[in-house]
Amino acid sequence: MILLFSLAFICGGFFHAGFFDVFAEKDPAYELLLKQLGFPESYYEKLTELHQEHPNWAFLPYQTGLTWEEALDGEYGYRLNLTPNTVNYPTSFHATEPVDGNITFDFDQNAFVIMSAPNWVQASREAIAYYMDPRNFLNSEEIFQFEYLASNPMVQTLDGVEKILSGGFMAHTYVVKPTLFISEGFVTGIEPDTTKEDFLKLIACEPGKTIRVWNADHSAKEDGARIGTGDLVTVSDGELLWDAEELPEDYVEPAHATYTCLIYGDTNGDGQHTKLDYLYFKRHFLDYYPLQEPYIYAADSDRDGDIDRMDRLYVKRAAYGYYPLTQRQVNEVEQKSTKAFALYGADGQTYAECIVALAEEYGISPYMLAVRLRQEQGTEGKSALISGKYEGFEGYYNYFNFGASGVTDTEIIENGLTYAKENGWDSPVNAIRGGAERIVEKYIAAGQFTLYLQKFNVIKNGAYTLYRHQYMQNLLAARNEAVRTAKAYTELECMDNGYIFYIPIFENMPETPAPKPENDGNPNAYLQMLSIAEMETIEPTSEASEPTTESSGPEETTGETSEEATSEVETETETEPEPTLPRLEPGFDRSIFRYDVYVDENVKSITFDAKAIANVIEYATSAGRGEKNAKVEGAGKKELSYGENVFTIRVTAGNGAAFDYEVHVFREEPETTQETSPEDIGETEEDN
């Protein structure tokens, strides 16, 4: 299936012949052109600079028909956009408030809530605004997230794909391992002890032709016999060639192509590595009996064009069974054949070749596929999704991570491999092909024809619900893939070629681009505990009269009674209760910021004990960054006046957020008593 995309289809119209010529000129009225195209004024400056740097680039507005705020509200949905919770990104990249009723930061555990393993958390509204605002990415690298993803063979080459893959596990590596190399009339890569039947399974030819295998003397190779150096492979239109005992007089030899088999180290042609091979090599090396073609090529075991001591070592070790002599690779550099015309199907295919072939088939950018593969699988390629060895899903692969969603690693892997199994992706090639096909059918054909639109589905009245059907949850994905694409173009020295960019426009956009969140530090400004640890009292000032005892006569007493009385007094003294500390009303809760405390008149001071959650619970993924712990101010000893006393305990988080906890302490007023003076007494007596 080949999908062709046209500018006319995308824009709903056709361009006049001189359209792109306008973009190729340094027109002093360029801003007027941008205005006529429909770009807001806040886009002019950066697009004009880009036009001056790259006059062959074409910038077209993509009118979303959405207001900025409604698009931002839509993208700020639960688990729609995630950011990596690592030290490379400030904590303001991550949400802390509930989203769609779901918590994003667990303040009690002092940790961001993991949305996807190992460290992906909910993106903050501010971070989403920054990455959604196209004006933040109108530069020579990041603008490629707006590049139109149709195929452009003049720019997008096999070498360019290899540059994108460079430094990773897919660079110059076979996705289909080569079994044989077919080049310049020779078939190499044949392992020793390969039978005729196994050999024929590794090669193919054009339809309607026949492959036959012969001994070096042109006699037919028997079934079960080994393939050896000097054996021949023919591809012909007919059956009869050299082995017929009697040929008709009018026999005409059919047209055929002939290839010579070559097994490195097999210098006598028996298809094995034995001591006889070393004898043949040694006699040639010492100039006793020189080897003839093709056996002299088999002696060049390191493929450097010379028969030298290194070849002697390789052949000897293979002949004596010390080390096998590799037929496919020498010095860790794999061979690559120039495929012959008639015999084919055995060369293997590199990742880059596979990507380019699929891009040609589907009419899309091979760079987009290469960048996407690298984005999903990284440089090491160690994901269980592409190992083919995960228990229960052996032999299945998912290179583009379709369906690989979940919170834990296990969920992600098993969901992704279930998707692969359901779609029959039972080889790396089938997985890459299947993934590319879905990108085309489900995204590009649905109007998501730029990296930006695949990340942010802001297509009004499109095939899929707004803000859903987004290829990746990674908020930074479109920007990161754009930078890798630009890097490849720069290395290929083709940055000044003609590219088309569709740049989104929203209604009622802010006058200035959304700023990038930069505030860092743990966001937790809650207290973990608040209590009254101590209080200080004063003794009452009232005087106590001496106790007096009245008696009417002697009274009988016993020693026992006296001891009991003494014991009771001692017991009462020992069990006298300690003063009870006052309490907060209501009881402490981190989300309650106003408390009342009531104390007696004799309480002179109280001491508050307060601890912040961020200083008590150290959690690796809380992104507190270690050096930025919460600061608690206002606790400790407080002197009390009579009546209401108001104290504020402030908690300042590592990122600067602060909460005030207010405590109102009510100290009881002392009672006032009216005493009679001597003068008052005297007046009363005279009156009487």
Output 593 or 218, whichever has higher pLDDT: 593
| CA–CA distance, 470 with 453 (Å, rounded to integer) | 8
Tell me: pLDDT of 657 over 90.
Answer: yes
Tell me: pLDDT of 553 over 70.
Answer: no
39 contacts: CB under 8 Å, gap ≥ 6: 47, 59, 61, 503, 505
- State the pLDDT at residue 673: 57
DSSP-derived 3-state class of residue 312: helix
Q: Closest by alpha carbon to 317, among 268, 275, 271, 376?
A: 275
| CA–CA distance, 516 with 640 (Å, rounded to integer) | 48
Tokens of 654: 């590592």
pLDDT tens digits along 425-439? 998 989 999 999 999
Residue 321 CB neighbours (<10 A): 10
Residue 329 CB neighbours (<10 A): 12
| CA–CA distance, 376 with 412 (Å, rounded to integer) | 13
- Are residues 599 and 668 in contact, defined by beta-carbon separation less than 8 angstroms? yes
| CA–CA distance, 262 with 180 (Å, rounded to integer) | 10
Tell me: pLDDT of 575 over 90.
Answer: no
Percent of the chain at pLDDT exceeding 90: 59
- State the pLDDT at residue 562: 46
State the sign of the Cα–Cα–Cα–Cα dihedral 123, 129, 132, 135: negative
pLDDT tens digits along 478-513? 999 999 999 988 988 889 888 999 999 999 999 999
Percent of the chain at pLDDT exceeding 70: 81
Q: What are 350's strand-pairing partners? A: 174
- State the pLDDT at residue 555: 44
Tell me: pLDDT of 680 over 70.
Answer: no
Tell me: pLDDT of 410 over 50.
Answer: yes
CA distances from 223 to 195, 227, 236 (A): 8, 11, 20
Tell me: pLDDT of 39 over 80.
Answer: yes
Give the mean pLDDT of 235-239. Answer: 77
Q: Residue length, the chain?
A: 688
Distance between first and last Cα of the chain:
128
DSSP-derived 3-state class of residue 585: strand
Q: Closest by alpha carbon to 111, among 123, 101, 119?
A: 119
State the sign of the Cα–Cα–Cα–Cα dihedral 401, 402, 408, 409: negative
pLDDT tens digits along 106-123? 999 899 999 998 889 999
Written as one letter, the residue type at 189 is G
Strands (E), 441-566: 500-507, 527-537
| CA–CA distance, 88 with 97 (Å, rounded to integer) | 22
| CA–CA distance, 635 with 233 (Å, rounded to integer) | 92
Residue 459 CB neighbours (<10 A): 22
- State the pLDDT at residue 251: 65
Give me the domains of the chain, ranges plus CATH numbers.
7-81+123-148+450-507 (no CATH), 158-175+348-444 (no CATH), 521-538+575-688 (2.60.40)
pLDDT tens digits along 441-459? 999 999 999 999 999 999 9
pLDDT tens digits along 373-399? 998 898 899 999 999 999 999 999 999
| CA–CA distance, 366 with 347 (Å, rounded to integer) | 21
| CA–CA distance, 165 with 175 (Å, rounded to integer) | 13
323 contacts: CB under 8 Å, gap ≥ 6: 317
- Are residues 507 and 67 in contact, defined by beta-carbon separation less than 8 angstroms? yes
| CA–CA distance, 561 with 357 (Å, rounded to integer) | 113
| CA–CA distance, 630 with 608 (Å, rounded to integer) | 17
Q: Closest by alpha carbon to 385, among 403, 397, 368, 402?
A: 397
Give the mean pLDDT of 538-545. Answer: 58
pLDDT tens digits along 159-184? 889 988 988 999 888 887 777 888 77
| CA–CA distance, 233 with 188 (Å, rounded to integer) | 12
- State the pLDDT at residue 17: 37
477 contacts: CB under 8 Å, gap ≥ 6: 375, 451, 455, 471
* pLDDT band, very low/low/confident/very high, at 684 (cuts 50, 70, 90): very low
Q: Closest by alpha carbon to 607, among 654, 524, 537, 682?
A: 537
- State the pLDDT at residue 674: 53
Q: What are phi and psi of 557, to 5 degrees?
A: -135, 160
- State the pLDDT at residue 621: 46
